[in-house]
């Protein structure tokens, strides 16, 4: 092969690499229908930018289901109080805040704390169901 042919083949292979790098819904945490809905929304320009005030309100709403004991600390962290450490590339920035309470108040608060409900995790890989033919009944 001459140099031009090899160069053309190399360029063609490099042009195909982005298509090979695309992830399928099975390679992510998203199920297929959610991935398709997200793609439709993105193509239809339904995904809009969020203002800083909307982002703050959204973050504060995440504190709402928490018990009062945890809610005040959650709001403080959302508003930027406390110390942050870590990095995005290292897995995330962790925010830490410390609240000092008298022991009697802490014990009273802990008694009022009920179970905290975690969100449902529907984004697991779907299980494929196989259809089996039933064997004919012996008569």
Q: What is the pLDDT of residues 44-91, one digit of tens each?
A: 666 577 889 999 999 999 999 887 778 888 898 888 888 888 888 888
**pLDDT-based confidence at 135, cuts 50/70/90?**
low
pLDDT of amino acid 124: 54
80-105 burial, b if ≥16 CB within 10 A, otherwise e? Answer: eeeeeeeeeeeeeeebeeeeeeeeee
pLDDT of residue 115 exceeding 90, the answer is: no
Determine the average pLDDT of the residues in 17-33.
64
Instruction: Write down the mean pLDDT value for the chain.
Output: 75
Residues 56, 70: Cα–Cα separation, whole Å:
18
pLDDT of amino acid 9: 75
Q: Where are the alpha helices (DSSP H) in the chain?
A: 3-21, 32-43, 52-63, 68-78, 103-111
Share of the chain above pLDDT 90, in %: 8
pLDDT of amino acid 99: 79
pLDDT of residue 94 exceeding 90, the answer is: no
Share of the chain above pLDDT 70, in %: 65
Kindly report the backbone phi and psi dihedral angles of residue 96, in degrees, each rounded to the nearest multiple of 5, phi listed first. -125, 135
pLDDT of residue 92 exceeding 70, the answer is: yes
| Nearest alpha-carbon partner for 97 in 69, 113, 79, 76 | 76
């Amino acid at each position: 092969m001459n140099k031009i042919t090899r160069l053309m083949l190399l360029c063609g292979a490099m042009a195909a690499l982005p298509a090979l790098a695309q992830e399928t819904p099975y390679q992510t945490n998203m199920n297929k229908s959610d991935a398709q809905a997200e793609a439709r929304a993105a193509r239809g320009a339904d995904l809009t930018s969020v203002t800083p005030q909307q982002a703050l309100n959204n973050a504060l709403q995440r504190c709402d289901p928490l018990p009062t004991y945890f809610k005040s600390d959650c709001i403080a962290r959302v508003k930027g109080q406390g110390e942050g450490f870590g990095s995005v590339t290292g897995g995330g920035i962790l925010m830490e805040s410390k609240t000092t309470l008298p022991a009697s108040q802490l014990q009273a608060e802990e008694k009022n704390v009920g179970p905290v409900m975690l969100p449902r995790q529907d984004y697991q890989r779907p299980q494929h169901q196989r259809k089996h033919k039933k064997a004919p009944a012996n008569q």
